Chains A and B, each alone.
Chain A
Amino acid sequence: MNTSAFEPWNDPEAKPLIHFQNVTKRYGEFTAIDNLTIDIYEREFYALLGPSGCGKTTLMRMLAGFETPTEGTIHLAGQDIAPVPPNKRAVNMMFQSYALFPHLSVWENIAFGLKREKMPKHDIGDRVEEMLRLTRLEKFARRKPHQISGGQRQRVALARSLAKHPKLLLLDEPLGALDKKLRQETQFELMDIQEKTGTTFVIVTHDQEEAMTVASRVAVMDHGKIIQVATPDRIYETPNSVYVADFIGDVNLIEGTAKPNGSDVYAMSWHEGHAPLAVQSPNGFSDGQKCHLAIRPEKVSISADKPETADNAVQGKILDIAYLGNISTYHVELPTGAVIKAQAANTRRIARRAFTWEDTVWLSWTATAGVLLAE
């Protein structure tokens, strides 16, 4: 493997594996996908993230061939796939319910797709054994789906959809049916398998943590539109809208008006009688434009005395403390009535905690900690 980072989306020469061009899908009056254009590159692990009903499942079903776009075209490896029926597409899907055939054994389930393409018998055997090894299911080959556990079923579904060497694998909420602990283990397994097989994965999920963990790029969707496509860290650190900032993780939003103060540096006035907040942000704003400062709770420090060097500091009173074991989240009410959340690691035992309810504290953060967003 080459050592340079895997970022084909930054390479103007790279040809996308999948290209959606102005795709719209309507069901009667309802628009499920609204004039959408995206590119997905080979070997990518691409996550479609959004609340239920945002159109992510429709998007995936159009790739599988179960839905056809009302307008626009979808290209797979440079070829328009509109006329290709689902059973002729080099695309396989792992279903949310797994859709394992209950009357067939694990082995037969994995071999199902291979038999359809008339592969020679011993080749089928070899390929199925290979998939069983990859998903660590060798011991369960003869069992029926109801004789194995939920996690094993999930792996059978994965093995079955990968067996045909698809150019593209679609995963519809692949971990939704597993309990939390198993889900976290399986996330890494999925990434591992994706890397080993080099298949392009498109995953649909409503679980932001899952999307952030597994994906090379995350597409945040809402109401049939893509709001932002970026790597997980970019999505988290520099969301492009209030919607994305709010959807991914926990965030404090402070409303105000921008005043340019040098290149990419702004002074945001947010409340009369308070000093403007210093923000460094790549998004351009004009003088007096309304904006929101989005800042993550873990980037806000909490202290008893006013820190001397901080770019921004405000005083407030502790309203609530959510103790989460490793960290605590402090809900601090400012004199303006706004509540800001700040997180601090619990490095000391709880009995020796520095702050408690009703304490007056200082909150502080640096100019680069937050990001300025338009409405």
Chain B
Amino acid sequence: MNRMSWFNAVSLTLGFAFLYIPMVILVIFSFNESKLVTVWAGFSTKWYGELLQNDAFLNAAWVTLKVAVFSSTLATVLGTIAAYVLVRGGRFMGRTLFSGMIYAPLVMPEVITGLSLLLLFIGIGLDRGVFTIVLAHTTFSMCYVSVVVSSRLVTFDRSLEEAALDLGCSASEAFRLVTLPIIAPAVISGWLLAFTLSLDDLVIASFTSGPSATTLPIKIFSAVRLGVSPEINALSTIMISIVTVGVITASLVTKHQVAKQKREEMEAVRS
């Protein structure tokens, strides 16, 4: 099937146009001279300048970044352990409850997760701020990490671990020297997923943050409620560019690696 039918071509074109036109418009109008977002009045980068002057946004961005780094790192550690326990732990008391608690947050509406955590923090008298957001984000993103890592562990050739034990490793050495290096790509993508989830989250952060800590999504949300603003467009453009560059780089690197591995395997067979 080297030629596409007109139907497939049309549906792909329309589909991707639908997915991308809103973002393209957003980006274009971040360079608009006028305050009115919908009327083009000439090219300008002044909104980027204003954004860099806006301390409230910069502070919020800094808080968001801190929360994302801490929570995704913590979530990666906890999620990887949880995945290992689920896939390799065998039977233990309360295993069903445990796997339920891993999967439930994935389908739990954010409003409920946020509300319940807030009630807990109030109940134990914890002051809300960066720390409580980190706790909240770690809790739900560790479940995503655990799903990503356990799907890798399920396909992991168990005899590799047995070979390590057979060659004299203790269980923890086998994990450190063999299992972890091999599942590292899954752990890294788990971390990236946790990181973006944390950057992105509005609802849970709104419940668990205090007056001292406002994250970027909270800031954007309250600005956006009042209507469209070119400053937000500029901010969105920056965020979209970072993600786009990141995703494209990552996919090029993987593509290159896969191609290299294939080439080397072909050569090995021929030799």
Contact = CB atoms under 8 A, between A and B. Distances in A.
Given A146-B264, A146-B265, A148-B268, A92 B159 contact: no
A144 B263 CA distance: 13
Nearest to B167: A113
A117 B168 CA distance: 7
Contact of A116 (B157, B159, B168, B269): B168
A323 interface: no
Contacts of A149: 268-269, 271
Given A96-B159, A116-B173, A147 B168 contact: no
Contact of B169 (A87, A92, A103, A148): A87
Contact of A95 (B162, B168, B170, B264): B162
A112 B164 CA distance: 8
Nearest to A157: B163
Nearest to B181: A103
A297 B8 CA distance: 64
Contacts of A161: 166-167
A86 B166 contact: yes
Contact of A93 (B160, B163, B271): B163
Contacts of B163: 93, 95, 99, 101, 160
Q: Which of B162, B182, B269 has the most CB of A within 10 A?
A: B162
Given A103-B181, A146-B265, A164 B167 contact: yes
Contacts of B271: 149
Nearest to B184: A103
A66 interface: yes
Nearest to B178: A101
B55 interface: no
Given A146-B265, A149-B269, A99 B160 contact: yes
Contacts of B160: 99, 101
A176 interface: no
Contacts of B267: 147
B219 to A, nearest CB: 43
Contacts, number: 74
Interface in B234-261: 261
A91 B267 CA distance: 35
Q: Which of A99, A112, A148 has the most CB of B within 10 A?
A: A99
A97 B162 contact: no
Contacts of B166: 64-65, 86-87, 91-93, 161
Contacts of A85: 165
A91 B166 CA distance: 8
Contacts of B169: 87, 116
A288 interface: no
A102 interface: yes
A92 B167 contact: yes
A149 B261 CA distance: 13
A87 B173 CA distance: 11
A229 to B, nearest CB: 26
Nearest to A118: B168
B265 A87 contact: no
A116 B167 contact: yes
Interface string B117-151: 00000000000000000000000000000000000
A103 B182 contact: yes
B101 to A, nearest CB: 29
A86 B182 contact: no
A306 to B, nearest CB: 57
B9 to A, nearest CB: 38
Interface in B159-218: 159-160, 162-170, 173, 177-178, 181-182
A291 B264 CA distance: 59
Nearest to B157: A97
Nearest to A113: B167
Contacts of B164: 101, 112
Contacts of A147: 264-265, 267-268
B162 A99 contact: yes
A85 B169 CA distance: 10
A148 B271 CA distance: 8
A67 B175 CA distance: 20
Q: Which of B160, B181, B182 has the most CB of A within 10 A?
A: B160
Contacts of A113: 167-168
Contacts of A143: 268
Contacts of B170: 87
B261 A112 contact: no
A150 B268 CA distance: 9
Contacts of A88: 168
Contact of B261 (A87, A101, A146, A148): A146
A161 B157 CA distance: 18
A65 B162 CA distance: 10
A81 to B, nearest CB: 14
B206 to A, nearest CB: 43
25 contacts: A65-B165, A86-B166, A87-B167, A87-B169, A88-B168, A91-B166, A93-B162, A96-B159, A97-B159, A99-B157, A101-B160, A101-B163, A101-B164, A101-B182, A112-B164, A112-B177, A116-B169, A117-B168, A143-B268, A147-B264, A147-B267, A149-B269, A149-B271, A161-B167, A164-B167
Pairs of residues from A and B, 10 with the lowest C-beta to C-beta distance, nearest first: A116-B168, A113-B167, A99-B163, A99-B159, A95-B159, A86-B165, A103-B181, A147-B264, A99-B160, A93-B166
Given A99-B160, A103-B182, A149-B271, 8 more contacts: A66-B165, A86-B162, A86-B166, A87-B166, A87-B167, A92-B167, A96-B159, A113-B168
